[in-house]
């Protein structure tokens, strides 16, 4: 199953499709809604609203009191300690240490997908969503989209990063932009296309953007390999240069300076600046669809392989974790480490935390998630 916004439209494993059709369940959640016009003060609120939401699969692990119907796509903990949960179709959820609440923003759908969350040097939290770019300055939310020059027919943002100079890079359905705080400024990639590209959403989409330690920007395209950009010069990386697949899905630079690349059809590889090591094609790991790369505070690199659970690389060996280790499913959608050193995992069947040996229901460690 391809990890894109329209999760159920594209390739879905047969067993998941059967579960989808046969195992629809409902759950009751308490949701406290917060308006864009509310300030950061604690609310002396009414009782939380009681709502019923259908979930795609039975929730074996916590789904944040019924607020997550599908899965958490992205986690973030800001410098104040607030937990942010970016969902696939249920908007933004926050826990501030006292209240777990679903955030509502005037003029923004409550069913937006949140694809990226970044925090800048001054503590602003930025959300790349299906409704454009959203900024939270600690008091209020503000949205930026077509009106401010966002490229494309729709307002969906996939790639989002903030470079060392504070410049915001945005990858949307319509192409790449720089955002100066008020408007989007188009940034053109070279017109260089692989033979017979397989675009999932758009030939202009950049799904992931990172800046490495040397200041090079890496732009992961939709079916056209990867572009590197540094000081006005571009390098186009494709299967001709060692990529396992031009349909790249994810990218990470680890603390050693290695670039990890996940793909839709070629598995996982590592680039040390000179050589690609193709772990899947070399038979070291299983799973051709890999993404959600994350390096923890110990320097271990984690990632997911669709249908094969989660892998951890400790610098020497890979360890595979599956339902045998407590996962409710071998399809994991997100990985995150909080400031306590706890590793969180978002799945179609709820949120779990890795206790060092196995995966347990997040509510058993953090009761506020129930």
pLDDT one-digit tens code per residue, 307-350? 999 999 999 999 999 999 999 999 999 999 999 999 999 999 99
Give the pLDDT score at 325: 97
Unique residue bearing structure tokens 């995966």: 359
Q: Which two tokens stand for residue 233?
A: 């010069």
pLDDT tens per residue across span 263-300: 999 999 999 999 999 999 999 999 999 999 999 999 99
Q: Which residue from 5, 16, 10 is spatially nearest to 128, judged by alpha carbons?
A: 5
- Would you say 39 and 141 are in contact if contact means Cβ atoms under 8 Å apart? no
What is the four-CA torsion angle of 285, 324, 354, 292, rounded to 10 degrees? 40
Task: Report the pLDDT value the prediction gives residue 53, as an integer from 0 to 100.
Answer: 57
Whether the predicted pLDDT of 243 surpasses 90: yes
Long-range contacts of 218-222 (CB under 8 A, 24+ apart): 218/251, 218/253, 218/259, 219/159, 219/171, 219/176, 219/189, 220/159, 220/248, 220/249, 220/250, 220/251, 221/189, 221/248, 222/247
Higher pLDDT, 240 or 34: 240
pLDDT at 57: 82
Three-point CA angle 130, 142, 151, nearest 5°: 45
Give which of 298, 300, 291 is closest to 258, Cα–Cα. Answer: 300
Q: Model confidence over 96-152: pLDDT tens digits?
A: 999 999 999 999 999 999 999 999 999 999 999 999 999 999 999 999 999 999 998
- The neighbouring-strand residues paired with 250 are 262
Query: Could you read off the pLDDT of 176-229 as tens digits, one per residue?
Result: 999 999 999 999 999 999 999 999 999 999 999 999 999 999 999 999 999 999
Q: In Å, what is the CA distance from 313 to each residue of 238, 300, 303?
A: 25, 6, 9
User: In the structure encoding, which two tokens stand for residue 88, read together?
Assistant: 């696939």
Spatial distance between the Cα atoms of 273 and 275, rounded to a whole number of angstroms: 6
Tokens encoding 191: 């017109």
Residue 13 pLDDT exceeds 50:
no
Cα distances (Å, whole numbers) of residue 175 to 43, 55, 128, 216, 256? 40, 33, 14, 19, 30
Six-digit token pair at 43? 């609310």
Q: Answer yes or no: is pLDDT of 24 > 80.
A: no
Q: Is the pLDDT of residue 15 over 90?
A: no
With a cut of 50, say whether residue 353 has pLDDT above it. Answer: yes
Q: What is the pLDDT of residue 48?
A: 33
Report pLDDT digits (tens) over 33-92: 343 333 333 333 333 333 445 778 889 999 999 999 999 999 999 999 999 999 999 999
Cβ atoms < 10 Å from Cβ of 224:
24
Closest CA to 130 of 116, 149, 147: 116
């Amino acid at each position: 199953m391809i990890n894109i916004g329209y999760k159920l439209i594209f390739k879905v494993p047969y067993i998941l499709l059967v579960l989808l059709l046969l195992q629809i369940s409902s759950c009751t959640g308490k949701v406290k809604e917060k308006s864009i016009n509310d300030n950061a003060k604690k609310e002396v609120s009414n009782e939380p609203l009681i709502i019923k939401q259908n979930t795609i699969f039975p929730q074996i692990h916590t789904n944040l009191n019924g607020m997550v119907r599908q899965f958490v796509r992205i986690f973030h903990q800001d410098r104040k300690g607030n937990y942010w949960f970016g969902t696939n179709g249920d908007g933004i959820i926050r826990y501030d240490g006292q209240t777990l609440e679903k955030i509502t923003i005037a003029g923004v759908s409550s069913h937006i997908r949140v694809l990226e969350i970044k925090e800048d040097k001054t503590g602003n939290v930025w959300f790349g969503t299906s409704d454009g770019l959203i900024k939270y300055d600690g008091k209020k939310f503000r949205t930026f989209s077509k009106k401010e020059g966002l490229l494309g027919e729709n307002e969906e943002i996939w790639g989002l990063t903030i470079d060392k100079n504070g410049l915001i890079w945005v990858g949307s359905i319509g192409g790449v932009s720089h955002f100066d705080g008020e408007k989007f400024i188009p940034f053109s990639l070279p017109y260089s296309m692989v033979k017979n590209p397989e675009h999932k959403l758009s030939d202009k989409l950049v799904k992931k953007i990172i800046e490495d330690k040397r200041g090079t920007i890496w732009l992961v395209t939709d079916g056209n390999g990867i572009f590197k950009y540094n000081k006005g010069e571009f390098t186009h990386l494709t299967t001709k240069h060692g990529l396992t697949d031009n349909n790249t899905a994810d990218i990470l630079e680890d603390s050693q300076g290695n670039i990890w690349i996940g793909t839709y059809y070629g598995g996982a590889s590592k680039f040390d600046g000179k050589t690609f090591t193709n772990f899947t094609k070399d038979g070291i790991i299983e799973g051709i669809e890999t993404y959600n790369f994350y390096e923890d505070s110990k320097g271990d690199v984690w990632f997911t392989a669709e249908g094969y659970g989660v892998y951890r690389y400790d610098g020497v060996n890979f360890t595979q974790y599956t339902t045998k280790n407590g996962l409710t499913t071998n399809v994991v959608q997100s990985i995150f480490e909080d400031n306590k050193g706890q590793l969180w995992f978002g799945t179609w069947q709820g949120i779990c935390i890795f206790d060092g040996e196995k995966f347990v229901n997040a509510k058993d460690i953090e009761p506020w998630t129930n």
